[in-house]
Amino acid sequence: MMKTSESDGAPSLKASEGHLYLEADPFRMKLISEAISEYTEKHNLEDDTTLNDFRYKLGSAYQEHHNLHQDDWAYVEGDREVVYGAF
């Protein structure tokens, strides 16, 4: 399930998988998706289909929001500057 609402003026994306649910702005949605990816890899949880499907839905919501190609999993330019500028 992916939805967008703008009740407070800022876009809010929603994604869910099984009992997992997240509502966040697009940047945080993508950031959390990346964090789940790194965590599952680091802790050998790649076979956890619920986490992987949830991560995929978070990334897909970000892609859809920014009208990115289905194979384009990167951050958009403005978000990329925030993420990579932090390191």
Q: What single-letter amino acid sits at 14?
A: K
**pTM value?**
0.82
Supply the pLDDT for residue 11: 82
- Going residue by residue through the chain, which has 87 residues, state the pLDDT in tens, using 9 for 90 and above: 444 444 455 689 999 999 999 999 999 999 999 999 999 999 999 999 999 999 999 999 999 999 999 899 999 998 988 888 765
- Tell me, what's the pLDDT at 87? 54
- Nearest to 58, CA basis, from 23, 86, 84: 23
In a domain, residue 20? The reply is no
19 inside domain: no
Q: Is 25 helix (H, G, I), strand (E, B) or coil?
A: coil
Q: Is residue 18 part of a domain?
A: no
Residue 42 lies in a domain: yes
Residue 85 lies in a domain: no
Residue in the structure block whose two tokens are 């789940």: 36
How many domains does one find in the chain? 1
> What's the confidence (pLDDT) of residue 86?
61
Within a domain: residue 47? yes
Residue 55 included in any domain: yes
Residue 59 resides in a domain: yes
- CA angle, corner 1, sides to 75 and 34, nearest 5? 30
Residue 25 and residue 34: Cα distance in Å, rounded? 14
Domain carrying residue 73: 26-79
Assigned token pair, 24: 């966040």
